[in-house]
Structure 1
Amino acid sequence: MTQPAFEHLDHATLTRWLDEGAAVTLVDIRDPLSFSRGHIPGSRHVDNATVGELIDATPHDATLVVVCYHGHSSQQAATWLAGQGFERVYSLDGGFTDWEHRHPQRVAR
């Protein structure tokens, strides 16, 4: 039995999607304090208590981009979301830490 798949997403592609106004749901799974100190604009903080709301409110054909600290935990979360029936799930390579380093002007605080 194969696990539902997610795809890796690089920063350049996400930047292009955001610049083009693509319909992307950014799912930030870091802790609430880290999220409040900085996140990619338009991100939605999701944790175990709120993931059900995300699943209920998001169409399964939506594009989801999962963001964590360094791009490791997001892979597990992306796999899980794909298993919930989402068709286009991505894990942001390098996570928020790399995003903030490369795009400091594109961080909401």
Structure 2
Amino acid sequence: MSFQHLAIPTLQAWLDEGRDLALVDIRDPMSFSQGHIPASRRLGNDSVDVFLDETPAERPVVVVCYHGHSSQQAAAWLAGQGLAEVYSLDGGFTEWQLRHPDRVEA
């Protein structure tokens, strides 16, 4: 299993249409608390087991990091855990915040 790349406009459209997906942010807790995409949840080593238990294998998962690099490794790992549809957000939170400053939650 592998992951796919996701462009920011696609994620924006999915969120706007209320698509059922899991949006996970793998940045450090402080960065996450200072700002994140609404509806996202922080995912770390301490919470990944619970996340995998709670998340149906068929639910799309979008992984967000700072710039879209670390999320690729995390997305590949999650896909390897049996999740069917895993995406890495290209440009990461940094690019999202630049394009959508009004769509950032602290």
AA paired with 1:10?
A
SS in structure 2 at match of 1:27 = strand
AA paired with 1:79?
A
Is there any run of 5+ residues in structure 1 with no aligned partner, and where? none
Q: Deviations over 1:44-90 (max 9, x none)?
A: 10100100000000000011000000000000000000000000000
Equivalenced residue count is: 106
How far apart, in 2, do the equivalents of 1:91 and 1:16 lie? Answer: 16
Instruction: Give the structure 2 partner of residue 42 of structure 1.
Output: 39
Instruction: Give the structure 2 partner of residue 62 of structure 1.
Output: 59
* CA shift for structure 1 position 24: 1.3
SS in structure 1 at match of 2:78 = helix
Instruction: Give the structure 2 partner of residue 9 of structure 1.
Output: 6
SS in structure 2 at match of 1:77 = helix
AA paired with 1:59?
P
User: What is the TM-score normalised by the length of structure 1?
Assistant: 0.96
How far apart, in 1, do the equivalents of 2:41 and 2:64 lie? Answer: 10
User: What is the TM-score normalised by the length of structure 2?
Assistant: 0.99
How far apart, in 2, do the equivalents of 1:64 and 1:107 lie? Answer: 19
* Aligned Cα root-mean-square deviation (Å): 0.4
TM alignment of 1:1-109, pairs within 5 A:
4-109=1-106
The percent identity for this pair of structures is 62
* CA shift for structure 1 position 15: 0.4
How far apart, in 2, do the equivalents of 1:62 and 1:81 lie? Answer: 12
Is there any run of 5+ residues in structure 2 with no aligned partner, and where? none
